[in-house]
Amino acid sequence: MRFCINLMAAGVAILAAGALRAGVYGDTPDARHAWAVHDMNRPRPPVVTAEPGLPPSDAVVLFDGTSLDAWVSKDGEPCKWRIVDGAMKVVPKTGQIQTKQAFGDCHLHLEWASPAEVKGSGQGRGNSGVFLMGMHEVQILDSYNNDAYADGQAASVYAENPPLVNACRKPGAWQTYDIIFHQPVWEGETLKYPGSVTVLHNGVLAQDHWELEGLTTHCRRRPLAPYPAKLPLALQDHGDLVRFRNIWIREIPSRYANTTHGGPAANEADVMALRKETAMKLFAAANPDDQNKRAALSRMLEVVSYDKSEEHMRVVLRLRDAYLRELAGLDTRQIKDRKGEIIAVRNECNVLIRNKVFPEECKLRAELQRIINENALEKKK
């Protein structure tokens, strides 16, 4: 218990120094991961409230039934579509509308309804569309009992990829799109990563991280080309009386922006830079002269799990020797009282050995294991 209290005190001190806590627990940082598994130092995600039926707290509301203020016509003139019974309705031949604000990668929610009265067929029935960054159309179409071509049905990436399923509701019924969009990533004129679109249509997966092949057009395959990092979101006027409601958007990071947490864009130089930065912060808070030698040692074990520099290792070896001397001075009863702590440090060594931070013939682990065995501190499995 005393050990726990000491650790808690150490934890509070370190938290006050910079929200960092000691401990080697999961697999350590490596060449592609700046953080350990279950790392308490890893930044926590921002908190978002998400109440039923309401936009998430970090969403930009684009239409809530009361105002068209977020929208303009393509020519920059005020939006010519109309609000009817709390819904935004296409006014045919007034042209597409687009957001005043520009967006890049995003999570978009919108609800739409095709006219209850069915007119036309194929592409001529309840047609509109969501143009992500004005470039990539997720088709809106009354696809209910409507034999339109597959790559132009509701929730298709128009002219590119049909939806996985036709989840269209009856004409006039409100339907939902939840779209996760990532724009392509370019290095100059070279495409580094294709963009992608995921679409849930009425909660049903319709596009599963579809990697974009081109810019939307009609009849042709138009290759991808660089465009600005943020562009307005547009809704299509295809001459049909499609209605919209409850439109909100959340800006999200590129899947390729984070180069330090594994994933497709992991970069060893960036990972190492962040590991060194974290090690520096931990080292500054490590307090090697702490009377609690175990706590001081554990904090330094964590430091070297991020960055095994010569300077850090010199401190580790000094603390290791001091800790082992302290244990050597204890009688059997005292050793048993501290068995949890001794096993915990041995386990930290095991993690470091497993991750090749320490060699298999680690003296600290060997000595602690000897103490554990000689005093039968661990139940035989």
Residue 30 CB, nearest distance to Mg ion (Å)?
Answer: 47
Question: 197 vs 377, which CB is nearer to Mg ion?
Answer: 197
CB of 243 to Mg ion, least distance (A): 15
- Rounded to the nearest whole angstrom, what is the least distance from the CB of residue 34 to Mg ion in the complex? 43
Per CB under 5 A, which region of 42-50, 94-102, 131-139, 223-231 contacts Mg ion?
131-139
Tally Cβ neighbours within 10 Å of residue 25: 16
- Return the number of the residue (160 or 307) whose C-beta is nearest Mg ion: 160
Nearest by Cα to 67 from 99, 95, 113, 96: 99
DSSP code, position 157? B
Q: Is 235 or 285 the residue whose CB approaches Mg ion more closely?
A: 235
Minimum separation from the CB atom of position 79 to Mg ion (A): 18
Of the two residues 5 and 219, which places its CB atom closer to Mg ion in the complex?
A: 219
The reply to whether 129 sits near Mg ion by the rule CB under 5 A is yes
Are 365 and 353 a contacting pair, CB within 8 Å? yes
* Minimum separation from the CB atom of position 239 to Mg ion (A): 10
Instruction: Evaluate whether 162 touches 150 at the Cβ level (below 8 Å).
Output: yes
Q: If binding is defined by CB under 5 A, does position 134 make contact with Mg ion?
A: no
Question: What's the rounded Cα separation, in Å, for the pair 72 and 306?
Answer: 51
Nearest to 247 by CA among 126, 153, 107, 141: 107
Query: Cβ closer to Mg ion: 104 or 152?
Result: 152
Q: For the residues of 79-98, what is the DSSP string, one character each?
A: P--EEETTEEE--TTS--EE
The size of the interface with Mg ion (CB under 5 A), counted in residues, is 4
Positions 231 through 290 that interact with Mg ion (CB under 5 A): 236
152 binds Mg ion per the rule CB under 5 A: no
Query: Smallest Cα–Cα separation from 355: which of 25, 30, 22, 5?
Result: 30
Q: Which is nearer to Mg ion, 29 or 152 (CB)?
A: 152
What is the SS3 assignment for 372?
Answer: helix
| Amino acid present at 134 | G
What span, in angstroms and rounded, lies between the C-alpha atoms of 179 and 235?
14
- CB 115 → Mg ion: shortest distance, Å? 14
- Per CB under 5 A, residues contacting Mg ion are 127, 129, 139, 236
